[in-house]
Homo-oligomer: A and B are copies of this chain.
Amino acid sequence: MIIDKLIEKIKVTGNPTVVGLDPNQSFIPQFIKEETFAKYGKTLKGMGKAILIFNKMIIDEIYDLVPAVKPQIAMYERYGISGLKAYVKTIEYAKKRGLIIIGDIKRSDIASTGQAYSDGHIGRADVSGINYEVFKEDFITLNPYLGSDSITPFINDCKTYEKGLFVLAKTSNPNSGEIQDLMVDGVPLYEKVGGLISKWGEELIGTNGFSEVGAVVGATHPEQAKRLREIMPHTFFLVPGYGAQGGKAEDLAVCFNKDGFGAIVNSSRGIIAAYTKEPYKNSFSEEQFAKASRQAVIDMKNDLRRCI
């Protein structure tokens, strides 16, 4: 099962970190953009090609240190077809390097439409009897607002194709509480959603005791994360918000069990744009951006292990 493979890779690397591949153009070094713009112009295609080179160079430096990468599809979809080609090729390249792929797509729709997303991302797309694996993620993120029948098609494909999900429970953004913290029968909505996520995952629990249906739980809300960890013992957490968004290692320790498992922490900008930030910008040139990312992964691992 994919959740067991993820946990196994966390054990091997000793590192519950996922690197968010969110290639904002301001993070991409000038020498890469100059190369692709010279070839394709300052076009969507030129940007898509730059993103792919950037991602590949980072993947080459981090693949032995982390279990997984999390490309954020919005950052590719922004550039249309050219951007999405870079998304697909990034996934293929990272898989070749042995990385597990968490596609941060936050999709959700009603039954037959949900099935279409599932076919494209974790299942198979049928073309007149021939099946194609399209985007090829191992895990994807989903939004729960539409309810169970919007999640069922994905769960079925998880069973068939050994894939996994992370469903939004409590997100890391400042206004996440506006809807997610509303009180329902004396408990906040995100706990109700947490209960649903647990239930959706009941039939998909792997040998390590965690389900292939995980939850997104932001690092920026430690008290709430602690409570969710208690009421969702079989749910693996994907934890965004570390670093740039303000989440600290001390805060997110509550997402882990006493044995140090149960969650994987995302960092995007903090790693892929490390060369632009303190302390790395003093030691690494723009040309060495991927080496800076490697050092940032090592430092993050040490920071996490201090607290977990």
List the interface of chain A (C-beta within 8 A of B). Answer: 22, 24-25, 33, 37, 42-44, 46-47, 72, 74-75, 77-81, 83-85, 88, 106-114, 116-117, 119-120, 125-130, 132, 134-135, 143-150, 168, 171-180, 182-185, 189, 192-193, 196
Q: How many copies does the complex hold?
A: 2
> By CB atoms of chain B within 10 A, which of A22, A24, A107 has the most?
A107
Q: How far is the CB of A22 from chain B (nearest CB, A)?
A: 7
B-chain residues with CB within 8 Å of residue A88 when the two chains form the complex: 80-81
| Nearest B-chain residue to A145, judged by Cβ | B145
Residue among B33, B80, B145, B149 making CB contact with A134, cutoff 8 Å: B80
On whether the beta carbons of A127 and B192 are closer than 8 Å, the reply is: no
Select which of B112, B176, B185, B193 is within 8 A of A147 by beta carbon: B176
A sample of 27 cross-chain residue pairs with beta-carbon separation below 8 angstroms, ordered by A number, consists of A33-B128, A37-B128, A42-B130, A44-B127, A47-B128, A72-B116, A78-B119, A79-B127, A80-B88, A80-B132, A81-B85, A83-B120, A84-B84, A110-B173, A111-B173, A143-B145, A145-B171, A146-B175, A147-B177, A148-B178, A149-B173, A149-B174, A179-B189, A179-B193, A179-B196, A182-B192, A183-B184
Inter-subunit contact B148/A168 (CB<8 Å): no
Set of chain B residues within 8 Å of A178, measured between Cβ atoms: 147-148, 196
**Residue from the list B110, B117, B128 in contact with A78, Cβ < 8 A:** B117
Q: Report chain B residues within 8 Å CB of A132.
A: 43-44, 79-80
By beta carbon, the residue of chain B nearest A174 is B149
Name the residue on B nearest A24 (C-beta). Answer: B112
Seed contacts A42-B127, A110-B173, A145-B168; 12 additional CB < 8 Å A-B pairs: A33-B128, A44-B132, A47-B128, A74-B114, A75-B113, A77-B120, A80-B84, A106-B108, A145-B171, A147-B177, A179-B193, A182-B192
Set B78, B120, B171: member contacting A116, Cβ < 8 A: B78
